[in-house]
């Protein structure tokens, strides 16, 4: 459901429901970058564990929505 509250008495500026007071754009982008680093680290750990558990590159790629070639290229040092 979209919140269409008028903001600041200006009918032309409606809240979309996506407006969060998340700080400045710089702060928000900094948080996004940190989440990307965390997600990349989590993915690498999961891929390593999957390979050690015997999953193929094709299986891992399918689970992550990419090709086995992309997985192998990105994580070839994992094993």
φ, ψ dihedrals at 61, nearest 5°:
-60, -40
Two structure tokens written together for 58: 């094709």
Q: What is the pLDDT of residue 76?
A: 84
Q: What is the pLDDT of residue 2?
A: 46
The answer to whether residue 16 sits within a structural domain is: no
* CB-based contact 74:57 (threshold 8 Å): no
Residues sharing a CB contact under 8 Å with residue 72, sequence separation 6 or more, in sequence order: 57
The answer to whether residue 4 sits within a structural domain is: no
Average pLDDT (49-67) is: 95
Mean pLDDT score across all residues of the chain: 82
The pLDDT of residue 75 is above 70: yes
The answer to whether residue 7 sits within a structural domain is: no
The parent domain of residue 32 ranges over 22-75
Query: How many separate domains does the chain show?
Result: 1
The pLDDT of residue 46 is above 50: yes
* CB-based contact 20:28 (threshold 8 Å): no
């Amino acid at each position: 459901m979209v919140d269409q509250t008028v903001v600041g008495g200006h009918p032309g500026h409606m809240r979309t429901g996506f407006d969060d007071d998340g700080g400045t754009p710089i702060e928000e982008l900094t948080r996004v970058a940190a989440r990307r680093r965390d997600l990349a680290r989590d993915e690498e750990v999961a891929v390593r564990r999957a390979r050690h558990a015997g999953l193929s590159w094709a299986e891992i790629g399918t689970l992550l929505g990419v090709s086995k070639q992309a997985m192998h290229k990105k994580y070839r040092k994992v094993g």
